[in-house]
Amino acid sequence: MPDTDVWATWLRTGRDGGSARMRAENLDRLAKLRDRILDRAGIRPGDTVLDVGAGQGLLGLGALDRAGEQGRVIFADISEPALDDCRAEVAGLGASNRATFVRASATDLSALASETVDVVVERAVLLFIEDRQRALDEYHRVLRPGGRLSLGEPINSWMGRDRPGYLWGYDVTEVIELERKLHDVDRAESTTSREDVLCGFDDRDLVAMTRAAGFLRIEAQTDMALAPPPVRDDLDVFLDTAPNPLAPTTRALMSAALNDDESDRFKRALDRAMRDGHGERRHAVTVLRAWR
């Protein structure tokens, strides 16, 4: 069996289409959110930090420096290949003695004893989970009294809502009938209620669930923005990129939904929109911190 799964495959190549340039752009964008989450976590030297849904270690690697030589970071993820990527990065930093790697889902952190963690951090984890309340209950359980939770979650209920004639914010209304074919195939081939999970909550729900988990003090801030999508000249990279680990690439949708002539028409319209930066992209993220 290859050393990968849907999560690791997306992290390694799926979110950037194999493009080094897009990968660098994504990491630069994510670095800003990483710093906000870690700043709000108030990590102190000597703290034990749990990075839930660690992926390739965006938050956990940053937490290692903040926790210092006496601190420890626990990288937890459902994907063993992703944890392997974290192990390699940590080893490269010479910090393996200060890191632990646990294969676990956010809803079952039973590998960790109660009240053994000072800080829980996570980014874009709850949006992939049906039982978000159970995950937040687990975050609360593993935290020591006075421990902190700091997270950042995309709000897809606004950002990811279906808008006919738009693809990732690019305006392709001139071929809306083809865009609708892609949309319909995507919905039909989804084996789970993917859209219901990804779009099933907003910032008010996050606060309510965090309170229900037992956190007594909660602060949340939601940033929402509208802007033209970025100007791009790399259509093929875009076609091989997926918006999340559970979604197909645009190229795969085109192969399933369109004939050759339709594919050519759709690509020409999309390429024009990308080169002109024509459309409207939505961005929404909630950063939340809470104290046990």
Token output for 183? 């949309």
Strands (E), the chain: 48-52, 72-77, 99-103, 117-123, 143-154, 166-167, 170-171, 217-227, 281-291
Neighbouring C-beta atoms of residue 19, cutoff 10 Å: 17
What are residue 291's DSSP bridge partners?
148, 217
Phi-psi label, residue 142: left if phi above 0, alpha if psi -120 to 50, beta otherwise:
alpha
Q: Report all structural domains of the chain as residue ranges with CATH numbers, in order of start.
A: 6-291 (3.40.50.150)
- The candidate with the shortest Cα–Cα distance to 56, out of 24, 89, 30, is 89
- The candidate with the shortest Cα–Cα distance to 55, out of 34, 81, 36, is 81
pTM attached to this predicted model: 0.93
Cα(27)–Cα(155) distance, rounded to whole angstroms?
20
Give the position of tokens 């949006």.
Answer: 127
CB contact set of 171 (below 8 Å; sequence gap of 6+): 165, 273, 278, 279, 280
Each residue's pLDDT, cut to its tens digit, for the chain (292 residues) gives: 347 799 999 999 999 988 999 999 999 999 999 999 999 999 999 999 999 999 999 999 999 999 999 999 999 999 999 999 999 999 999 999 999 999 999 999 999 999 999 999 999 999 999 999 999 999 999 999 999 999 999 998 888 777 999 999 999 999 999 999 999 998 887 655 566 677 789 999 999 999 999 999 999 999 999 999 999 999 999 999 998 898 899 999 999 999 999 999 999 999 999 999 999 999 999 999 999 9
